[in-house]
A = this chain, B = another copy of it.
Amino acid sequence: MKSKQAVVLLSGGLDSSTVLAMANDKGFSCHALSFEYGQRHNIELACAKNMAKTLGVASHVISRIDLSAWGGSALTADIEVPKDGRDSGIPITYVPARNTIFLSHALGFAEAIGARDIFIGVNAVDYSGYPDCRGEFVEAFQTLANLATKAGVEGDSFTIHAPLLEMTKVDIIKRGHELGVDYSLTQSCYDPSDSGNPCGQCDACRLRDAAFFEIA
């Protein structure tokens, strides 16, 4: 039996699925955490469930939170997802404080079950322009985690793992292939059709398709 437990944020996309495989490979008993957060589509939750089952997890919690109560993003409000490539700056698909919210729930979950390791699939190389995908953000969250919690204050520290932080999308996919991740089960599109097909034109589709094209 694996002795060390970890909480892994799992969206059902390419990055977080690879992170789950990496955490498993490091010998952690993984508890996956996904969110139903008022996003435009729920196909990613179906992918997350499928991936958790395929790669194997100790448990999978789907937590319902409501970020659409205040909107502010093309992913949670009635704003069009851009389809004509990247502008400079932070894109409209940025969801205010999303990774802070996700990590804070992961922290509560981890502390409650005795896990001290939290994995998140943020990536700063294929830089999405999201402030909460940078190393400084991850470090600041770890500092906070160890001040905010009973465990942290008592010296039983939390570690926030962001193993994809410095990897290119191509390297991520190669590592996933080594670990047996079936990427046909993942969904990255910001604006899939009702039947769940990717649009092929949003930033997430473009990044993903370019990486698979390079590998092929």
With beta carbons under 8 angstroms apart, the residue of B61, B108, B154 that contacts A96 is B108
User: Which residues of B lie under 8 Å from residue A86 when comparing CB positions?
Assistant: none
Name the CB-closest residue of B to A90. Answer: B150
Please report which residues of chain A, range 5-64, place their CB below 8 angstroms from some CB of chain B when the two chains form the complex.
Answer: 61, 63-64
Please report which residues of chain A, range 128-160, place their CB below 8 angstroms from some CB of chain B when the two chains form the complex.
Answer: 131-132, 134, 136-137, 140-141, 143-145, 147-150, 152-154
With beta carbons under 8 angstroms apart, the residue of B61, B63, B154 that contacts A65 is B63
Query: How many monomers of this protein are in the complex?
Result: 2
Interface residue ranges, A against B (CB under 8 Å): 61, 63-67, 69-73, 90, 94-101, 103-105, 107-113, 131-132, 134, 136-137, 140-141, 143-145, 147-150, 152-154
A sample of 13 more A-B contacts (CB under 8 A), given A101-B104, A137-B144, is A63-B65, A70-B109, A70-B113, A90-B153, A97-B105, A100-B107, A100-B148, A104-B104, A131-B152, A132-B147, A132-B148, A140-B148, A143-B143
Asked if residues B153 and A147 are in contact (CB atoms below 8 Å), the reply is no
Asked if residues A147 and B143 are in contact (CB atoms below 8 Å), the reply is no
Give the CA-CA distance A150 to B110 in the complex, in Å. Answer: 27
Q: Can you list 18 pairs linking A and B with CB atoms under 8 Å apart?
A: A64-B65, A65-B105, A70-B109, A73-B112, A90-B150, A90-B153, A94-B150, A96-B107, A96-B110, A96-B149, A100-B145, A101-B108, A132-B147, A134-B147, A137-B147, A137-B148, A140-B143, A140-B148
